[in-house]
Amino acid sequence: MSRLFKLAAVLSVVPAVAFASPVRATVQSSVEGGDIYRVKNITKNVDFIDPAKADACDVLQYKVRIHNPGPTEVLTNVTVQAGFQTAASTKNVSIITMRASNASPSNTSDTATVNLSSAQGLNYVSGSTELLDANGNLIKTLPDGITQAGVSIGNVGVSVNEKRFVQFKEKVNCPTPPVTPPVTPPTPPVTLPAKPVIPVVQGKTTELPNTGPGDVAAVFAGASAFGAAGHYISRRFRRN
């Protein structure tokens, strides 16, 4: 009798186990990867692309997409951080990293490349970081720091309607050409014109050049002195 009771008890449990709902494994959300980081050359009006081209002094805009494909969890405390090489080069590769407190994997990264016509560095444009919605509309301006410790954008929900974009600007260095001081040519020495020598011949009329009142007076003074000397010598000769 006891055996029949035990068998009946076991059979009563089997349907409950057989028809119990299966336990679903929890799948954490993550930031979608892929080609999510691109560059726009604002100066040359070239749309977002990777790789991009630029010259010295060009202004570039970097943009990354943050999409949570689910399946169910909202990504919390999402941060975005961009890294740039510091040395001047003809090829600048930037890496963007998104992190979330509950993402699996915990971070997602991508790179964007800019090929430069000359070896230059890039500098972040202050106040240029913005958070956009799924349609590219501005949600708010983010604080500076995306190229340092990163910036927080809050939570990102599931579905394409909840995706977010972060964009910021970088400027290619403008090298300053060396300034060559002007060369002042030396001042040539001033040479005064020589006064003409006028020979005085006794008994002849000497023509004087038209050299001005001062030179004429000097010539007459010299002629008078020469004439007086001649007259004195003539008188002494006669007395002897």
199-236: pLDDT as tens digits = 666 666 655 555 555 554 554 455 455 455 555 545 55
Mean pLDDT of 19-24: 46
- H/E element, 61: strand 59-66
Residue-wise pLDDT tens digits, 147-205: 999 999 999 999 899 999 999 999 999 988 777 778 888 887 777 777 666 666 666 66
Q: Tell me how far apart the alpha carbons of residues 120 and 86 are, in angstroms, rounded to a whole number.
A: 10
**Which among 142, 25, 135, 28 has a CA at the least distance from the CA of 74?**
28
CA distance 122 to 94: 10
Cβ atoms within 10 Å, residue 188: 6
Evaluate whether 151 touches 80 at the Cβ level (below 8 Å). Answer: yes
- Cis status, amide bond into 51, omega within 30 of 0: yes
Cα distance between residue 56 and residue 114, in whole Å: 12
> In this predicted model, which residue has the larger pLDDT, 232 or 67?
67
Task: Tell me what the pLDDT averaged over the chain comes to.
Answer: 82
Q: Give every CB contact of residue 48 below 8 A, 6+ residues apart in sequence.
A: 38, 39, 40, 61, 63
| pLDDT per residue as tens digits for the range 39-52 | 999 999 999 999 99
Query: What is the value of pTM for the model shown?
Result: 0.66
